[in-house]
Amino acid sequence: MKRRMIRAMLCGLLCWSVPLLTSCWDRVEVNDIAIIVGAGIDQMDGKQVKLSAEIYIPVESTGEGQESGMKAGNGNGKTFVSSAAGSSMAEAMYKLQERLSRKLYWGHNDIFVIGQARAEHGIEDDLDFILRYVRMRERANIYISEGSAVDVLGIIPRLEPNSMEALSELSKTEISITVDLKEIIERIVETPDETYAIPYINRGKLLTDVSHVRNPNVPYFRGMSLFKKGKMNGNLNSDLTWGYFWITNQIKGNTIISLKMPEEQTLAVLLTHSKTTLIPSITPDGKWKMKIKVRGEGNLLQNTSSLDFMNPAQHKAMIKKTNEEVEMSIRQALKVLQKKYKTDVLDFGDRFRKLAPKQWQKEKKNWSTMFSEIETELDVEINIQRPGILNQNIKKMNRVNN
Amino acid sequence: MKKKISSFQMFLLMFQMILSSSVLLMPSITTMLSGKDMWMTPIFSMLVGYLTVWVAFKLYKLAPHGSFVKLLESSFGKVIGKGMNILFIIFQVHIIAIATRDYGEFIVTNFYLKTPVYIIIISMLILCAWVVSGGIEVLARTGQVFIPIITICTLFIFIFLIPELDPSTIFPMFEKGAAPVFKGSVVVAGWFCQIFLVIYILPYVKQENTIQKWGYICVTGIGLLMLIANITVFMLMSESASFYNYPVFTAARYIAYAEFFEHVEAIVMMVWVLGEFFKISFYYFTIYLSLSETLELQKPVVIILPIGLLLLLSTFWLAKDFQMIGDFISKSGTLYILTGFFIFPLVIYALTVIKQRLKA
Amino acid sequence: MSWHTLITIWVLIGGYGIVNPSWKKHDKKEKKVLFSLLFIAFVLSLGLGLNPNLPGLTEWVNALYRPLHGWLSP
């Protein structure tokens, strides 16, 4: 009798615990959720913030199988954009939920696009919400868009299922970098003025399908936007961004260095790898200096100049020209960052902190002024290793006339 | 008392008992106190661990039948001894109430936002009551099965984070001198000294001559794993780690490989639930054991459920909410734990040795 | 904890005691200990039900160690 009772109790316990595994209070069915694939944050009038979410529309697979097979290039998911405004992001999310029949699901969201007006107003409130809410992910990438974010969200590019996929894929190429939430929080905690740089993308109106047909050259990325103390205070255009990448060792392979040559000559180098080292130093009389050492390798991509690759002296001249080009772009970026914006997104502060901790503690309170006065010394060496497949440039290939 | 468990099982139980709560919570508190040097703190607190193991072993040798309860009674007289035992039991109830509530808050904050926290605590306590009624052998064998799995999963999380780490974040070292490291070490020592509870299960260990060796290996292993956890979390997040409530959980959420190996925080939940199960069961077992020996019960099985009920009520009486636990752990809680598990045994040992010398 | 949970818990305990009467077979001493523990739990649950913020041991310990807080602040 006793054994039977114990067995009955154990079975009862098992049966009772199984429903609990589905978490009665917290269960959400899969077809009750709205999957967010991209989020946009914009500034509205009167200090309101508008939260837009690009939501994935799941396609019914049975019955339309043959049709969607033929349109395979478009991807199988369409999205729609829904937005709502509130006095803070949390309130905006609540209002957004009111408009949707399904529960918002943030687990697949990898992108936050912040409109320029909001960035200039200050994004710290939004960052607090994104980090604190348990359902968001720290791996999400952040972008600033010129204009408003909601325009960027609704674009359906030709090659990818939605604009957010396009942005992620573009970030992985050499054109731009990814900046995720964790890096931003690290920069906020560690740098004295909370300085960081976030990729800056073009206005939505330039990127829509229609103008893509007319302006196929419009890139997604315009450069980097600079932040200080949570507010956007400037941006770097694509040329200056290139210099920024050189200094912070974020240049990826396959970058094309195109040199400025006189009168219809062209010279271009395809970079394979490079490494930038920053060497800080403090001279005995208290001047702070930074030496930027760049070492890289590349292959010749295009050469219709008078310089011949196979000639050692002219090869050296080619290398010298390439070095000068890189140095010039680094100097331009440094000038803008140091003099115009006084924003240390280059991690100079961190280097000095590692070099001389005690002096850094004293100087870090007015780091913006100190940063603008740092003298920089450049040491660039890009070795051009291979000429590609041709060994003579096209203009000199005519043997009949020689 | 019959000898039932091997010293390796003892090692596994103590290893998991201390690690379960520390790996998840500690990086945040130590980063707040020690800044960039937080990764060094387990190294210095291991000394406290070694000392505690030594004291526990010495007290076990001095005790009649190896029982700490009987030692207190024989050294200080029946009444004072029983009173000290009861106070020590209340101390243990206090500590485990805080740990249980912390466990409940973690699960509710991160996974089950709407579930009432007492459901989670009740289900854990019922399971622990069941294990304790089986005896130390059941707990040790369960440990032998699960604890290696827990350790391997924890190490996997840290191994997968290796590509994301930035080693230059630990420089400059000793930026603000050695005092911050010392403060962080005191907090970590608060976890290490809980290994004193091994004294309650030492009478059950079969191989007496290897107890000390396994105890020291245990402390070394704990220190090593804490070091790995600290270094990984710090190199990933640098000083922003102090602003996250659960840094290891946040770090595990960061893992993303080849766009498909993502969202591995479920592993953290599994590791945390299993680990806390062992910690809560162990404390439950020592409370049950010391209560039954203090009150000299012959068949003490019947008091397991009332103890469980008292534990449940203490989690709501002694650890009211998240803010109180956080405040307690980082400030007075550390000194309180150190007093109970480090200073108290040392004082008992000194007094007992002096008494024995005086008698001889 | 609201009164609902406390009453449910006590009813379940009473139910368990009735369904599994093995506790009756123990000695008097063990039954005394059992009931005194249950009594302490009962008093505590009454206290918690009336005043969920019942001041407990933790406040006392906090007050005791407050002067030493300065040691452990960053």
Whether C40 sits inside 8 A of B335 (CB atoms) is: no
DSSP track, B40-101: GHHHHHHHHHHHHHHHHHHHHHHSGGG-HHHHHHHHH-HHHHHHHHHHHHHHHHHHHHHHHH
pLDDT value, residue B96: 92
pLDDT digits 0-9 by tens, A310-355:
888 888 888 888 888 889 889 999 888 888 888 888 888 888 888 8
Whether B114 sits inside 8 A of A25 (CB atoms) is: yes
With bands split at pLDDT 50, 70 and 90, how would you rate the model's confidence at A210?
low
pLDDT value, residue B220: 94
With bands split at pLDDT 50, 70 and 90, how would you rate the model's confidence at B183?
confident
Is position C23 within any domain? Answer: yes
User: Which of A26, A189, A357 is opposite residue B239, by nearest beta carbon?
Assistant: A189
Residues of chain B with pLDDT > 70: what percent?
99
Predicted ipTM? Answer: 0.89
Contact in structure between A205 and A185 (CB atoms under 8 Å) = no
> How many Å separate Cα B22 from the centre of its chain?
7
Residue B148 reports pLDDT greater than 60: yes
With bands split at pLDDT 50, 70 and 90, how would you rate the model's confidence at A207?
low
The CA distances from residue A326 to A75, A304, A346, B271, in Å, are: 40, 20, 17, 50
Chain B contact residues (CB < 8 Å to A): 109-116, 119, 123, 168, 171-172, 175, 236-240, 243, 250, 253-254, 256, 262-263
With bands split at pLDDT 50, 70 and 90, how would you rate the model's confidence at B140?
very high
B-chain residue closest to C41, CA distance: B310
Judged by average pLDDT, the poorest of B208-222, B247-261, C29-43 is B247-261
A9 interface with C at CB cutoff 8 Å: yes
Is position C73 within any domain? Answer: no
- How many C-beta neighbours within 10 Å does residue B114 have? 10
pLDDT digits 0-9 by tens, C35-62:
888 899 898 888 888 877 777 778 888 8
Structure tokens at B154: 């924890």
* Of residues B94 and B260, more confidently modeled: B94
Is position C71 within any domain? Answer: no
Residue A396 reports pLDDT greater than 80: no
Domains of chain B from N-terminus onward: 7-359 (1.20.1740.10)
Is position A6 within any domain? Answer: no
C53 interface with A at CB cutoff 8 Å: no
Is position A11 within any domain? Answer: no
Structure tokens at A277: 């080292």
A-chain residue closest to B119, CA distance: A20
Neighboring chains of B (3 or more beta-carbon pairs < 8 A): A, C
Distance from CA of C25 to the nearest CA of A (A): 14
Whether A354 sits inside 8 A of B172 (CB atoms) is: yes
Per DSSP, helices labelled H in A336-374 are: 348-355, 357-363, 367-372
With bands split at pLDDT 50, 70 and 90, how would you rate the model's confidence at A388?
confident
pLDDT digits 0-9 by tens, A288-321:
888 999 998 888 888 887 777 888 888 888 888 8
Same domain membership, residue A359 and residue A227: no
Is position A73 within any domain? Answer: yes
> How many Å separate Cα B346 from the centre of its chain?
19
With bands split at pLDDT 50, 70 and 90, how would you rate the model's confidence at C13?
confident
Q: CB pairs under 8 A, 24+ apart, for B162-166?
A: B164/B236, B164/B254, B164/B255, B165/B232, B165/B235, B165/B236, B166/B235, B166/B236, B166/B238
pLDDT value, residue A401: 62
Same domain membership, residue A281 and residue A221: no
With bands split at pLDDT 50, 70 and 90, how would you rate the model's confidence at A17?
confident
The CA distances from residue A93 to A29, A56, A225, in Å, are: 20, 17, 26
Distance from CA of C17 to the nearest CA of B (A): 10
Per DSSP, helices labelled H in A52-132 are: 65-70, 89-99, 116-121, 124-132
Neighboring chains of C (3 or more beta-carbon pairs < 8 A): A, B
A11 interface with C at CB cutoff 8 Å: no
pLDDT value, residue A67: 44
With bands split at pLDDT 50, 70 and 90, how would you rate the model's confidence at B128?
very high
Beta strands in A106-250 (DSSP E): 111-115, 141-145, 195-201, 221-228, 231-236
Go through B21-48 and write b for each residue having 16 or more CB atoms within 10 A of its CB, e for each that does not.
Answer: bbbbbbbbbbbbbbbbbbbbbbbbbbeb
Q: Could you tell me how many CB contacts below 8 A there are between chain B and chain C? A: 105
Rounded mean pLDDT of A382-387? 85
SS3 C51: coil
Residue B58 reports pLDDT greater than 80: yes
Is position C10 within any domain? Answer: yes
With bands split at pLDDT 50, 70 and 90, how would you rate the model's confidence at A218?
low
Whether B254 sits inside 8 A of A357 (CB atoms) is: no
Residue A71 reports pLDDT greater than 50: no
Q: Could you tell me how many helices (H) and strands (E) chain C has, helices first?
A: 3, 0
With bands split at pLDDT 50, 70 and 90, how would you rate the model's confidence at A75?
very low
Distance from CA of A23 to the nearest CA of B (A): 7
User: Which of A26, A182, A361 is opposite residue B112, by nearest beta carbon?
Assistant: A26
C-chain residue closest to A8, CA distance: C19
Average of per-residue pLDDT values in chain C = 82
Distance from CA of A247 to the nearest CA of C (A): 35
B-chain residue closest to C16, CA distance: B305
Contacts of A5 in chain C (CB under 8 A): 19-20
pLDDT digits 0-9 by tens, A168-177:
777 777 777 8
pLDDT digits 0-9 by tens, B338-359:
988 999 999 999 998 898 888 8
Residue C1 reports pLDDT greater than 70: no
What is d(CA B352, CA B346) in angstroms, rounded to the nearest whole number?
A: 10
Residue with tokens 């933790």: C58
Whether B183 sits inside 8 A of C37 (CB atoms) is: no
Q: Could you tell me how many CB contacts below 8 A there are between chain A and chain C? A: 4
User: Which of C45, C58, C73 is opposite residue B324, by nearest beta carbon?
Assistant: C58
Neighboring chains of A (3 or more beta-carbon pairs < 8 A): B, C
What is d(CA A295, CA A274) in angstroms, rounded to the nearest whole number?
A: 6
Same domain membership, residue A226 and residue A264: no
Distance from CA of C66 to the nearest CA of A (A): 29
SS3 A111: strand
Report how many domains make up chain C.
1
C-chain residue closest to B320, CA distance: C53
pLDDT value, residue A60: 60
pLDDT value, residue A63: 45
What is d(CA A395, CA B53) in angstroms, rounded to the nearest whole number?
A: 83
Q: Which of A236, A261, A277 is the last residue of a domain?
A: A236
Contacts of A354 in chain B (CB under 8 A): 168, 171-172
What is d(CA C24, CA C26) in angstroms, rounded to the nearest whole number?
A: 6
With bands split at pLDDT 50, 70 and 90, how would you rate the model's confidence at A21?
low
Residue B40 reports pLDDT greater than 80: yes
* Of residues A122 and A217, more confidently modeled: A122
pLDDT value, residue A215: 47
Whether B183 sits inside 8 A of C1 (CB atoms) is: no
Name the packing angle between helices B117-134 and B265-294 (round to 10°): 50
What is d(CA B49, CA B189) in angstroms, rounded to the nearest whole number?
A: 7
C18 interface with A at CB cutoff 8 Å: no
* Of residues A388 and B315, more confidently modeled: B315
* Of residues A24 and A72, more confidently modeled: A24
A5 interface with C at CB cutoff 8 Å: yes
Domain that holds residue C15: 3-64
Structure tokens at A271: 């970079």
What is d(CA A151, CA A220) in angstroms, rounded to the nearest whole number?
A: 13
Distance from CA of A304 to the nearest CA of B (A): 41
Whether B238 sits inside 8 A of A189 (CB atoms) is: yes
pLDDT value, residue A37: 86
Q: Which of A187, A207, A236 is the last residue of a domain?
A: A236
Contact in structure between C58 and B324 (CB atoms under 8 Å) = yes
Same domain membership, residue A317 and residue A202: no
Residue A167 reports pLDDT greater than 70: yes
Whether A134 sits inside 8 A of B254 (CB atoms) is: no
C21 interface with A at CB cutoff 8 Å: no
What is d(CA A311, CA A300) in angstroms, rounded to the nearest whole number?
A: 14
- In three-state form (DSSP H/G/I as H, E/B as E, the rest C), the secondary structure along B210-255 is HHHHHHHHHHHHHHHHHHHHHHHHHHHHHHHHHHCCCHHHHHHHCC
Contacts of B115 in chain A (CB under 8 A): 23-26
Residue B284 reports pLDDT greater than 90: yes
pLDDT value, residue A72: 37
Q: Which of A198, A220, A236 is the last residue of a domain?
A: A236
Is position C22 within any domain? Answer: yes
Contacts of A137 in chain B (CB under 8 A): 253
A10, A23, A133: best to mutate for the B interface, most B CBs within 10 A: A23
Report how many domains make up chain A.
2
pLDDT digits 0-9 by tens, B189-199:
988 999 999 99
Structure tokens at B189: 């020592």
pLDDT digits 0-9 by tens, A253-298:
777 787 777 777 888 888 888 888 888 888 888 788 889 999 988 8
User: Which residues is A281 bridged to in the sheet?
Assistant: A289
Contact in structure between B242 and B230 (CB atoms under 8 Å) = no
Same domain membership, residue A318 and residue A249: yes
pLDDT value, residue A23: 62
pLDDT value, residue A158: 67
Residue B204 reports pLDDT greater than 80: yes
User: In this structure, what are the phi and psi dihedrals at residue A44, rounded to the nearest 5 degrees?
Assistant: -105, 170
pLDDT digits 0-9 by tens, B321-333:
777 777 787 778 8
Residue B282 reports pLDDT greater than 90: yes
Distance from CA of B115 to the nearest CA of C (A): 13
The CATH number of residue A338's host domain is 3.30.300.210
Average of per-residue pLDDT values in chain A = 80
Residue with tokens 């115009």: A340
Contacts of A185 in chain B (CB under 8 A): 237, 240, 243
Is position C70 within any domain? Answer: no
Domain that holds residue A359: 239-397
Q: Note if the bond before B167 is cis, omega within 30 degrees.
A: no
Is position A16 within any domain? Answer: no
Chain A contact residues (CB < 8 Å to B): 17, 20, 23-26, 107, 134, 137-139, 182, 185-186, 188-190, 353-354, 357, 361
* Of residues A394 and B67, more confidently modeled: B67
Distance from CA of A228 to the nearest CA of B (A): 18
